[in-house]
Each structure stands twice: as structure tokens, then as C-alpha cells.
């Protein structure tokens, strides 16, 4: 009983030792408890009577005379070091039956068995590679063993394996041969089977991945991503995902591409329409370099300056409207698309100057002159691209200053009339020359009448 109390005390101490030092992040600690069986070999010169029988052979075999107590009788704790090696301590108790003769019915006595020792284990998986749930090992250790009055140290060598149900809980089977080099001491095989717990690793974020294997130890993540999160579930961890909250493809760094044109939505100016990568994911159906969304003629190529539409040539004179000063009238390039004044038209305009006369000393037209000016209006409308200069002139009666001002007023009167009939003011320029350019003698009434005139001249 004293050994049982001692064993329990050792296990409690071991447990608290583990708890107070379990700071490694790789679950280095292993605690096991279970049952053990002992196959004892009686000393080979017991009483000097059975030396040949017991010392060399065990008639019933290694497992033939096992001694087992139906209780938790074996405890161990170990700590992983490095490269497959771990060190630990273990203790066990049992009750042995000891035979004294060869024949059946010989007397038998019982002895209390107690063992406590230290061992080194080597995880065979470190050599062979991980095998999942199956974890074999070999061990070497030294044990202090008490069998009745036989109290001494034994060298132990053994093997075993762990089978893991999950990351922390499993079963452990171990078998050891413990040898004393003094022939009067007991040798024995000991086998144990118990429940094992491994622990001691740190999991800061509580995601089930230990910190030493957790690439994101401070953020809750997934086991398949080594503890890192994948918020949108697209298989790309948030740290490498340019769009962590929207599922996307690896090719686009985790960003979605709604129209499948190879441009991520975040960079796609037209995310719902298939387009070109060079045009930020927007289409250009006519290939004119103007995006369809900005192209007024998406199916017909045209310059950006005309909103993607081709420039028209309304009058069909070969000059695009943008360069045609007379888009509704056919004209040559030399006259910017406007028709040139014909010789006949020029002649008519020149002759009109004879008909445009004014009252003496005034800027008002004589009766009937307005009707004559309507002929000038028709010519100007026919040749809408031509600009005209309106020159005002006066006779020599009165002062030169008065005559200059009067000639300007007369030119202005004609200009205003033409504008009132629909002629663009930008096509007309009015000037006054006073009495400087007479076409007849100012000495006669007829000559002075001819000098009081306005001439309309086509500009070239």
C-alpha cells in the first residue's frame, strides 16, 4: 500500500509539473495512465535447486505468466525535446505470483511490485515520416524496481506506439524488457496500455491551430490555411487577397470579375460588360478608340472629337461639315466648301451700286432702293460662304468731316437692311470713305448724285 501512495504522489507532482511548465507551442507534453502487466523471471539460482530451468528459459513464454491488477496502475509523463527524442519518467505498481517448483501444485507466494524510472524515447516517425494516427517509438531507460526484498536498478529497453484519436487524446501501448546484470536479481517484461494526453501548445487566437504552425497567430483562421482567415471563402487567405470581402479568382488576386473579361471589378470601368483590358474592361465595338459608353455611334467608327461618330458631308462636296463653311451648299476646297461667286453674280452686285442712292445730306435710302437691295440679298443667300464689304461714299458738298460721317452712316444703313433680310452680320463689313473716291464730277448735279452711293463688294 505504501507503494501505491508513493506512486499517486509522484503522478500528482508530475501532473502539476507539466501544468506549470507547459509553455511550448508544439504540444510537447505527454501524460499517460492505464494498466500494466508484468512477466517476472525468477532468479536463476534460487535455493541452488533450479538453476538450469529458470535462469535460461521461461517455460510459459514471454506472455505466459503475466501478472495484472484490474486498476489504474501505470503512470508516465514525458516531454518532447527535438528531432524525435523525448525524455520522461514513469511509475507503476503490481502484484506478482512467484513459483518455486517444476510440478503443478507447487506452493506459490505473492510479492508487491513497484517500479519508478526515467527513460528516453525516440519517435520512429521522425525517421520514416508522419504516418497520421499511428505513432511508433522505441525507448531506453533505467528503473528502480522493488519486488519483495529485491530492490535494485534495471536497464530497460522497449518499444511501443501511440494511436491518436485527435490532436490531444489517444492510446499508448508500451512493452519493455528490464534487465539486472546480477544473476540473483529478477528480470522482467512489462507491458502497459493507457490513455494519453498531449498538450502544452499555445493557441493565442483560439482557432485550433497552434501558434508555432499558425501563420496568423492573432487572427482567427482556418486549419487548411495554417490558421489564416479567408473571409470571402474563395480559397485565398485575406493577407494575399486584394478583395478579402468579395470572392474572386487567384488570377485576379482574389477579386471578382462579373463580366469575365479578365479585368477585376475594382479596376473595371464597365464591370458588367465584356471589354478590353487595354480599355479598363470597357468595350469599343467599332474600334475607333472611343468607349461604347462615350460613343454616340458605337457601331460606326469616328473620331473622339465628334463623340465617336464619323464627320458628315451634308452637301456631298467632299468637304466634311467640320471643315465646310457652307455645309448645305456645294463648294470647292479652295473656298472652304462654299460656292464661289460667278462672274455673272459679281456683275450683278457691281451694277447694284448704280441703284443704291440716298437723299441729299441724309443717310436714308431714296424710295424704291430697298427693292433693288433685295436682289443683293438673293445673291448673298445663294453664295452663303462669301463675305462682303459695304463701302459708303458722299459728294463734295459740305465739309470733309461731315461727308465722312455721312458715308459711314449710309454704309451702315445698307448693312442693317441686309441683316434684317437674314444675312449673317459676320459676313458684312461697313466702311465710309467720305468724298475721297468719287466716280463722277462733283461740279454737276448728276455727278454729285452718282457720288452719293454705296457699293457692295465681294471679298476674295
From residue 127, alpha-carbon distances to 123, 172, 194, 258 in Å are 8, 20, 25, 50
Please say if the pLDDT value at position 86 is more than 60: yes
Beta-bridge partners for 194: 34, 172
Higher pLDDT pick, 91 / 200? 91
What pLDDT was estimated at residue 63? 55
What pLDDT was estimated at residue 26? 64
Higher pLDDT pick, 281 / 345? 281
What pLDDT was estimated at residue 194? 96
Instruction: Compute the distance between CA of residue 390 and CA of residue 353 in angstroms, rounded to an integer.
Output: 10
Please say if the pLDDT value at position 274 is more than 50: yes
Q: Give the pTM.
A: 0.46
Please report which confidence band the pLDDT of residue 43 belongs to, taking 50, 70 and 90 as the band edges.
low
Segment 413-434, tens digit of pLDDT: 999 999 999 999 998 999 999 9
Residue 79 contacts by C-beta under 8 Å, 6 or more apart in sequence?
A: 18, 28, 29, 30, 86, 87, 88
Please say if the pLDDT value at position 354 is more than 60: yes
Interstrand relation of 388-392 and 454-458 (parallel, antiparallel or unpaired): antiparallel
Mean pLDDT throughout 49-70?
Answer: 55
Mean pLDDT throughout 240-248?
Answer: 91
All structural domains of the chain, each given as residue ranges with its CATH number in brackets, are 2-199 (2.40.160.20), 204-256 (no CATH), 343-458 (3.30.1330.60)
Arithmetic mean of pLDDT over the chain: 82
Please say if the pLDDT value at position 4 is more than 70: no
Contact 366, 357 (CB under 8 A): yes
Please report which confidence band the pLDDT of residue 179 belongs to, taking 50, 70 and 90 as the band edges.
very high
Amino acid at each position: 500500500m505504501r507503494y501505491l501512495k508513493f506512486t499517486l504522489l509522484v503522478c500528482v507532482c508530475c501532473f502539476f509539473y507539466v501544468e506549470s511548465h507547459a509553455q511550448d507551442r508544439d504540444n510537447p507534453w505527454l501524460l499517460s495512465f492505464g494498466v500494466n502487466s508484468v512477466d517476472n523471471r525468477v532468479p536463476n539460482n534460487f535455493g541452488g535447486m533450479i538453476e538450469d530451468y529458470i535462469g535460461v528459459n521461461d517455460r510459459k513464454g514471454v506472455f505466459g505468466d503475466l501478472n495484472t491488477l484490474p486498476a489504474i496502475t501505470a503512470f508516465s509523463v514525458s516531454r518532447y525535446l527535438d528531432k524525435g527524442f523525448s525524455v520522461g519518467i514513469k511509475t507503476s505498481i503490481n502484484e506478482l505470483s512467484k513459483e518455486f517448483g517444476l510440478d503443478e501444485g507447487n506452493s506459490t507466494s505473492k510479492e508487491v511490485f513497484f517500479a519508478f524510472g526515467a527513460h528516453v524515447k525516440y519517435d520512429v516517425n521522425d525517421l520514416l515520416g508522419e504516418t497520421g494516427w499511428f505513432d511508433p517509438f522505441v525507448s531506453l531507460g533505467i528503473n528502480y524496481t522493488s519486488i519483495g526484498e529485491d530492490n535494485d536498478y534495471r536497464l530497460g529497453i522497449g518499444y511501443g506506439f501511440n494511436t491518436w484519436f485527435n490532436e490531444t487524446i489517444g492510446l499508448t501501448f508500451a512493452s519493455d524488457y528490464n534487465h539486472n546484470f546480477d544473476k540473483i536479481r529478477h528480470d522482467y517484461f512489462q507491458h502497459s496500455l493507457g490513455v494519453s494526453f498531449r498538450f502544452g501548445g499555445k493557441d493565442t487566437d483560439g482557432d485550433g491551430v497552434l501558434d508555432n504552425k499558425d501563420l496568423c497567430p492573432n487572427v482567427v483562421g482556418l486549419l487548411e490555411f495554417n490558421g489564416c482567415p479567408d473571409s470571402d471563402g474563395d480559397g485565398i487567405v485575406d493577407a494575399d487577397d486584394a478583395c478579402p470581402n468579395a470572392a474572386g479568382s487567384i488570377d485576379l488576386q482574389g477579386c471578382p470579375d462579373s463580366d469575365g473579361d479578365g479585368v477585376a471589378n475594382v479596376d473595371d470601368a464597365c464591370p458588367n460588360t465584356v471589354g478590353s483590358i487595354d480599355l479598363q474592361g470597357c468595350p469599343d465595338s467599332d474600334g475607333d478608340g472611343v468607349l461604347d459608353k462615350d460613343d454616340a455611334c458605337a457601331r460606326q467608327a469616328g473620331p473622339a472629337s465628334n463623340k465617336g461618330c464619323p464627320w458628315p458631308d451634308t452637301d456631298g462636296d467632299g468637304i466634311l461639315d467640320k471643315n465646310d463653311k457652307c455645309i448645305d451648299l456645294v463648294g470647292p476646297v479652295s473656298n472652304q466648301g462654299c460656292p464661289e461667286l460667278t462672274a455673272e453674280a459679281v456683275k450683278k452686285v457691281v451694277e447694284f451700286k448704280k441703284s443704291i442712292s440716298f437723299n441729299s445730306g441724309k443717310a436714308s435710302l431714296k424710295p424704291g432702293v430697298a427693292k433693288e437691295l433685295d436682289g443683293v440679298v438673293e445673291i448673298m443667300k445663294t453664295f452663303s460662304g462669301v463675305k462682303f464689304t459695304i463701302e459708303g461714299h458722299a459728294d463734295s458738298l459740305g465739309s470733309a468731316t461731315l461727308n465722312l460721317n455721312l458715308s459711314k452712316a449710309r454704309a451702315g444703313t445698307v448693312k442693317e437692311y441686309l441683316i434684317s433680310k437674314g444675312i449673317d452680320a459676320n459676313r458684312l463689313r461697313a466702311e465710309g470713305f467720305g468724298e475721297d473716291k468719287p466716280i463722277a464730277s462733283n461740279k454737276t448735279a448728276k455727278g454729285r448724285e452718282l457720288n452719293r452711293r454705296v457699293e457692295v463688294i465681294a471679298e476674295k
